[in-house]
Amino acid sequence: MTFDYTNAEHKLDKKIIELGKKEFLPAELVSLISNVAKIQLQAEKQAAPAMPEVSSLAPADENIQGRPLLARADFPYDHKQANELFESFSKILINLSGPIADATVLITEQIKNGDLDLEKVFAAYLEGDDSFFAKYGEETPEAPRTLNFLVQSSITPSIKVVARNIAVNLPTIEKEDVEAPTSVDLNIELSPPAARNHGHCPVCGSIPFIHELRHKQGFRYADCSFCHTEYRVRRLACAYCDQTDQSKMKFFNVEGEPGYRVEVCDGCNNYIKTIDFREMDKVSIPTLNDLESLPLDFLAVEEGYKRGTLSSWGF
Ligand SMILES: [Zn+2]
Ligand SMILES: [Zn+2]
């Protein structure tokens, strides 16, 4: 199955127009993210990471038990492209004004004089070593996530391409292995994959940053915060602690933000946003939906819940 870039480009253009209408989003932020998203999409076409051998991926039975196909630290990436993107994105940030531009100037200088080794920074990102980025952020306290944003934005096109390639090796899950079908499921027109029994990503093992309801039955899909694979998950289960006790799960909507809701878990105190555009004429691009639904994050935090992941842009 080849990825349809033309369709992805159309969707991105439409989504950028939708984002531009959100008054709570600063125009400068929308313009930055739109610009980066467009460059990333073109970069995906060009990315040439060395693909892992199929024999190095987790076997089907272990994958069904929850072991990812490939641990995130083992993801290959196109080093040349990631370095070039890092430079391009740095230039875009330097052209903005304020703390983020100042932070990028410092990062660029440190790379030039050897104080910051970009290969090591990419490795820290792949290992999910957020303490490295948190510590580095102390050097740029006014814009502490700048390095993380740059690294993540630069490496993600490669990661997505690798994930898409290896995901074809995901085993098919037998329906009887998972949640019991409801009477609604019997009317199914499309045949979506069965839900996984774990909240984490079957391809790389990372946690999702957002959920989306699909099909007329409202099947629930998760979007991976690292490799951006979309996979079907159980209807009622926390993405972060896997608990299925319904009395501990709640959700709420936010006035003025149709198409989104917040699901909270009183077991682990995390929340996750859920997209539901089934009744709406809206384009869904999870990383941009994440930005579009920022008011829900403010509300969830106000209610005392924590977000299980960083924003999908690394800040
Ligand atoms: Zn993943
Ligand atoms: Zn939980």
203 CA from centroid of ligand 1 (Å): 5
Sequence-ordered list of residues with C-beta below 8 angstroms from that of 106, at least 6 positions apart, any chain: 139, 140
Ligand nearest to the CA of 229: 1
Ligand nearest to the CA of 207: 1
Q: Mean pLDDT throughout 128-156?
A: 96
Are residues 186 and 158 part of one domain?
no
Calculate what percentage of the chain has a pLDDT beyond 70: 94
Residue 249 has pLDDT above 60, yes or no: yes
pTM for this one? 0.92
282 CA from centroid of ligand 1 (Å): 25
Q: What is the structure's pLDDT at 177?
A: 46
Ligand nearest to the CA of 241: 2
Are residues 160 and 181 part of one domain?
no
Which residues are near ligand 1, the ion (C-beta closer than 5 Å)?
201, 203-204, 206, 224, 226-227, 229
Residue 33 — pLDDT band, cuts 50, 70, 90? very high
Containing domain of residue 65, as a range? 25-168
Q: What is the structure's pLDDT at 97?
A: 87
DSSP-derived letter for residue 75 is -
Q: What is the structure's pLDDT at 189?
A: 45
Asked if the structure places residue 90 within a domain, the reply is yes
261 CA from centroid of ligand 2 (Å): 16
Ligand nearest to the CA of 69: 1
d(CA 227, CA 225): 6
Ligand nearest to the CA of 306: 2
d(CA 294, CA 291): 5
The mean pLDDT of the chain is: 92
The last residue of a domain, from among 168, 187, 210: 168
99 CA from centroid of ligand 1 (Å): 31
211 CA from centroid of ligand 2 (Å): 14
227 CA from centroid of ligand 1 (Å): 4
Half-sphere exposure of 225 (CA within 13 A, CB side): 25
Which residues are near ligand 2, the ion (C-beta closer than 5 Å)?
238, 240-241, 265, 267-268
Q: How many CB atoms lie within 10 A of CB 218?
A: 12
| Count of domains observed in the chain | 2
The CATH number of the domain holding residue 214 is 3.90.1670.10
